[in-house]
Amino acid sequence: MHRHFNGLKTALLLGAIFAVLLGLGSVIGGGRYIWLFALIGLATTAYGYWNSDKIAIAAMRARPVSEAEAPAMYRIVRELSERAGQPMPRLYVSPTQAPNAFATGRNPQHAAVCCTEGILRLLDERELRGVLGHELMHVYNRDILTGSVAAAIAGVITSVAQMLMFAGMFGGGDDERPNPIAAIAMALLAPMAAALIQMAISRTREYDADEDGARLTGDPLALASALRKLERGVEAAPLAPEQRIVNASHMMIANPFRAGDVSNLFSTHPPMAQRIARLEGMAGNGPGIQHYG
């Protein structure tokens, strides 16, 4: 089976975004002040990472769901958790018609899986199993930590770039003031580069969750079928505009907004066609893949 080296790509992309941070810091006073902003950014991210499950659940107005209310969801997650040798996560349902699902939590012991009402109506049980396998692998692969680190560095870069722009345009005349042309150029380009790299990291983690989730369920075609339905479902019922302020889209199995709303470079998710093609390739060539049902 073809291996895409998503873990290596993620490591390289994290190195790239850190290099952007160091490059930005080198423009400011020889890099003497960058660590103050880094500490602020890391402290904020540590809080977000530690409370990621609470923040995401509250953002989607989700409620805990009982086994009597969602027997299929419980049955699938319990089976897959036992297969993976991991504890059973808490289960939630979000009262939105936009079809989607996400998992969050700093580790498997503090994980939560959430499905929207829309996705529970849209998918059959086999397809839902493929989706939940994908989401559980986000937790098992520690993707919340990876995303938090990327977001922290990107946030520091953006904050420092704004100060750098101000210093370049209005700073005093001492020797420590950065070159105004270099400062303005770096202030404009660094945040864009950081955003592009952050989105690329998110896309590699989606590919990994697809592949590892398909191995967990033994049924890559179920996830491929679910993704086809979700692509059409999101086009018909995207996440409500007021929820765009919630930066939770990277955790969802499908980009919750219409494909035309953002370019591929700034998308948190790979193109659906590529994800489906990889899954179909696993079904045709992957050793150890067992078909469900």
Kind of pairing between the strands at 112-116 and 90-94 = parallel
For residue 291, tell me if it sits in a domain. Answer: no
Contact (CB, 8 A) for 181 and 252: no
pLDDT tens digits, 125-161: 999 999 999 999 999 998 877 777 777 777 777 777 7
pLDDT of residue 268: 78
- How much of the chain, in percent, has pLDDT values that exceed 90? 39
Number of domains making up the chain: 1
Q: Is 135 annotated in the active site?
A: yes
Q: Which of 127, 135, 206, 211 is catalytic?
A: 135
In a domain, 211, yes or no: yes
| Residues whose CB falls within 8 Å of the CB of residue 201, separated by 6 or more in sequence, listed in order | 10, 13, 14, 17, 146, 147, 150
244 or 41, higher pLDDT: 41
Tell whether 1 is covered by a domain: no
- Average pLDDT of every residue of the chain: 79
Q: In this structure, what are the phi and psi dihedrals at residue 223, rounded to the nearest 5 degrees?
A: -70, -40
Residue 79 corresponds to which tokens in the numbers above? Answer: 């089976």
Range of the domain at 133: 6-282
Residue 289 belongs to a domain: no
Tell me the C-alpha distance between 280 and 285, whole Å.
9
| Rounded (10°) angle between helices 180-217 and 6-27 | 160
Q: What digits encode the pLDDT tens for the residues 239-270? A: 765 554 445 677 789 888 766 555 565 677 88
DSSP string for the chain: -----HHHHHHHHHHHHHHHHHHHHHHTGGGTSHHHHHHHHHHHHHHHHHTHHHHHHHHTT-EE--TTT-HHHHHHHHHHHHHHT-PPPEEEEE--SS--EEEE-SSGGG-EEEEEHHHHHHS-HHHHHHHHHHHHHHHHTTHHHHHHHHHHHHHHHHHHHHHHHHHHHH--SSTTSPPHHHHHHHHHHHHHHHHHHHHHHHHHHHHHHHHHHHHHHT-HHHHHHHHHHHHHHHHHSPPPGGGGGS--GGGBSS-SS-GGGS-STT-SS--HHHHHHHHHHHHHH-TT-----
pLDDT at residue 6, rounded to an integer: 55
70 lies in some domain = yes
Domain contains 119: yes
pLDDT tens, position by position, 179-236: 667 667 777 888 888 888 878 888 888 999 999 999 999 999 999 999 999 999 998 8
176-191: pLDDT as tens digits: 555 667 667 777 888 8
User: Residue 293: inside a domain, yes or no?
Assistant: no
In a domain, 97, yes or no: yes
